[in-house]
Chain A
């Protein structure tokens, strides 16, 4: 049945509301707020924490905060790439958890070097991304649902070879022998190492942010991914291989989750089976926050990085101020909601990055 009110609909789309002369000042104020509001809030928070808490002013606190932020931020960068193509990867937490277990298995159970562990983990991350991609692209399962399913499968599957146990050096294996291997020193340096005062994970976080930013905004591949997110049908008719790029986005996300998992494994020094569990929600949250940071109302690398830092500042600040751990989730949720108000309510750009189920 044809939609006979179509002309009215299209004319609405074709002419976005124009500011009236009376509303121009308030519109300008709104634009400024949308563009810089979040940065102002962040700076205000930093100033408040720094003035009121002596410990917050120490550079070691700052770097430790950034170090803990880096895993969330790196997983969030992967989620951001999937959000750019109009999807959302819910399997990043499970992917990172898988990485922790796999890294421990490689080094502890099979007594291989840290280098081998890194390669195994990155390949496994890419494989998880590929499975997501195949489910979404070939079997046409909606992004959210496919990655939700994969999340559960990966969470469960990683427990099979380790009999549901955390892997640590000296553990007794299935055949009764004691595990020969242990986490290599080099591998432990991933989290512990520093250049001057700057921890390796923070350097990795900044470098990956810059790389993703360049990829998304300066290369044709990133541009094409944004096109798919904006209007997949128009992109396809303009010659874009939509499925190929969707698949690439999920593979990138899988690898980023694996990198986050490597840092986690190096930090906790054992194959903790619960590692990565909280990473998913944090990574999605910072990506959502990221859409509003620079007023772009679309997923972007710097936004995600700054979003992660902002969440880190809030958490650290609250902890130093002595609030209980359960206030952390309240604060995270509040930050996300405020960010979404910026993106959806205040921004005049139409925010559209949440996949339909």
Chain B
């Protein structure tokens, strides 16, 4: 939808006291954002802060919000995606697949809105579409040849799909362009081209809302920064940005429950040696040792590479670069089974989808990774299995009526005790725990912390991954801060503190 009126200096889109709830879950609690024309406004926040909901309100997806939205001084209720589009709000979603239509050519995808609106004849020959498609592509200076425009959109690279969606949004000359993690599929050069486009748009008077986990991008691009946490704006800044404050606002000051002084231990023997591994194609290779006898905590924001590191070490998504040794011998797991054979175990981040088997008993869940031990001849020794599960229940104080109780009926904390416990009883050489305290009550969290520290004291290497500094400080002896796939700092807890870690996490390259 082309608009000829150039917005003036005081125009743009103002969101005032926007609130939104899904049932009892209040996702936004009075958010006010000023998305001024000729400005790039950046929005950051941890998972669950409310970013997606906010974007979806602007895009007309969530319509039952309260508060007001003013566009160029006139109040509007955005009650549908069509209304959003009419107001000149264009959204480029993070998931590119939502923006393209498979089976159609690049040209048809570029002109998709015009085709569905009837502006361009539905069955126009591809040849007739090409000139107009090139017009759309030119909004982004895309040097796409005719043969490329004829290609099926599924055959082109993801980066090109991303640029296509962006070009289409730009061709409608938006008043507000929302970019949600736009660089996740782009190479460095393509990302740079995108940044150039964003700057040019800003200079042309467009308001840009830029949502990203990449602080570096925001640092170089944004004119304004809003930090969202628990549905509220906690920090707003103008450049130069104070990233320390921003990240603090993002993560929040945790209510620290009375904590026994952690007796820092330093390990001696190298268990796992990691050399020259790239966590992302663009990231610098990293190398470090994990030693037995100490708990090594890995902390970083979303997208820092924690999950990539953990899943690589246990072989769930094997590294393609660098090498590892375990207890001095080469270690290159191609699948989790290989890691488990070497006694390298993993407690995944998302319990429900990665560790729990719906309807399974505590006993079966406990024995699954070590079934051969309970079934040396192939037949499961059920009494031995039950005895093993009962002793785990006693040992970890799992709240359950019997070892045959379904794991579905356990609380999150008790489920996690079962998952952590089953690995601990398998004599780990190394135990990796990814966000082990997520959805876990304080009691279970303490129990698990104690066990993890005891395990390390007993000579195992423990790697704990979390985005919450306080969780890490609670258990780790040594803290490695990851940012954008590289090691920002690697210090023992006595050598650093919460503020220092925050500073490291928020340091921008």
Q: Which residues of A contact B (CB under 8 A)?
A: 1-8, 10, 13-16, 218-221, 223-224, 227, 230-231, 233-241, 298, 349-350, 352
Contacts and interface: CB of A to CB of B under 8 A. Distances in A.
9 contacts: A2-B47, A2-B52, A4-B52, A15-B411, A16-B408, A223-B364, A230-B359, A238-B336, A350-B358
A10 B51 CA distance: 20
A219 B52 contact: no
A237 B354 contact: yes
A236 B380 contact: no
Contacts of B95: 1
Contacts of B335: 236, 241
A34 B495 CA distance: 62
Interface stretch (B21-29, B293-301, B323-331, B397-405): B21-29
Given A13-B352, A350-B359, A238 B368 contact: yes
Contacts of B312: none
Closest 9 CB pairs of A and B: A239-B340, A220-B375, A230-B357, A220-B371, A239-B337, A238-B369, A1-B94, A2-B47, A238-B368
Nearest to B346: A237
A349 B408 CA distance: 10
Given A220-B378, A224-B371, A1 B359 contact: no
B53 A237 contact: no
A267 B380 CA distance: 39
A220 B368 CA distance: 9
Contacts of B358: 230-231, 350, 352
Nearest to A14: B412
Contacts of B180: 1
A237 B336 contact: yes
Contacts of A15: 409, 411
Contacts of A240: 337, 368
Nearest to B213: A2
Candidate in A5, A14, A349 with the most chain B CB atoms within 10 angstroms: A14
Nearest to B24: A8
Contacts of A238: 336, 340, 355, 368-369
Given A1-B94, A14-B415, A236-B316, A7 B48 contact: yes
B379 interface: yes
Nearest to B350: A10
Contacts of A6: 47-48
Given A4-B52, A241-B337, 13 more contacts: A7-B439, A10-B352, A10-B439, A13-B352, A14-B410, A219-B378, A219-B379, A220-B379, A230-B359, A231-B353, A233-B353, A235-B357, A238-B336
Contacts of B368: 223-224, 227, 235, 238, 240
Contacts of B249: none
A244 to B, nearest CB: 9
Interface string B148-189: 000000000000000000000000000000001100000000
Contacts of B396: none
Interface of B: 22-25, 27, 47-53, 93-95, 180-181, 314, 316, 335-337, 339-341, 346, 348, 352-360, 364, 368-369, 371-372, 374-375, 378-380, 408-412, 415, 439
B371 A4 contact: no
Contacts of A2: 47-48, 51-52
Given A350-B358, A350-B359, A220 B27 contact: no
B93 A4 contact: no
B375 A231 contact: no
Candidate in B354, B357, B379 with the most chain A CB atoms within 10 angstroms: B357
A219 B375 contact: yes
A238 B93 CA distance: 34
Contacts of B354: 233-234, 237
Contacts of B374: 220
A239 B439 contact: no
Contacts of A220: 371-372, 374-375, 378-380
A256 to B, nearest CB: 20
A230 B356 CA distance: 9
B369 A239 contact: yes
Contacts of A298: 359
A219 B48 contact: no
A109 to B, nearest CB: 41
A239 B378 contact: no
A227 to B, nearest CB: 6
A231 B357 contact: yes
A227 B357 contact: yes
A8 B48 CA distance: 11
Contact of A234 (B356, B408, B411): B356
Candidate in B50, B52, B336, B339 with the most chain A CB atoms within 10 angstroms: B336
A352 B316 CA distance: 25
Contacts of B348: 237
Contacts of B408: 13-14, 16
Given A14-B415, A220-B380, A4 B352 contact: no
A5 B353 contact: no
A1 B355 contact: no
Contacts of B359: 230, 298, 349-350
A16 B408 CA distance: 7
Candidate in B53, B368, B409 with the most chain A CB atoms within 10 angstroms: B368
B352 to A, nearest CB: 5
A227 B51 CA distance: 36
Contacts of A10: 352, 412, 439
B173 to A, nearest CB: 25
Given A5-B22, A14-B352, A233-B353, A221 B48 contact: no
Contact of A5 (B25, B94, B355, B409): B25
Contacts of B52: 1-4
A298 B359 CA distance: 10
A218 B352 CA distance: 26
A227 B355 CA distance: 11
A95 B284 CA distance: 54
Nearest to B426: A239
A8 B352 CA distance: 13
B315 to A, nearest CB: 10
A298 B357 CA distance: 13
A239 B367 CA distance: 12
A4 B378 contact: no
Nearest to A243: B335
Contact of B316 (A3, A16, A231, A237): A237
B283 to A, nearest CB: 22
A220 B378 CA distance: 6
A2 B53 CA distance: 10
Contacts of A1: 52, 93-95, 180-181
Contact of B25 (A8, A233, A237): A8
Candidate in A10, A234, A349 with the most chain B CB atoms within 10 angstroms: A234
Nearest to A350: B358
Contacts of B22: 5, 8
Contacts of A239: 336-337, 339-341, 369
A224 B371 CA distance: 9
A220 to B, nearest CB: 4
A8 B360 contact: no
Contacts of A8: 22-25
A7 B378 CA distance: 40
A237 B380 contact: no
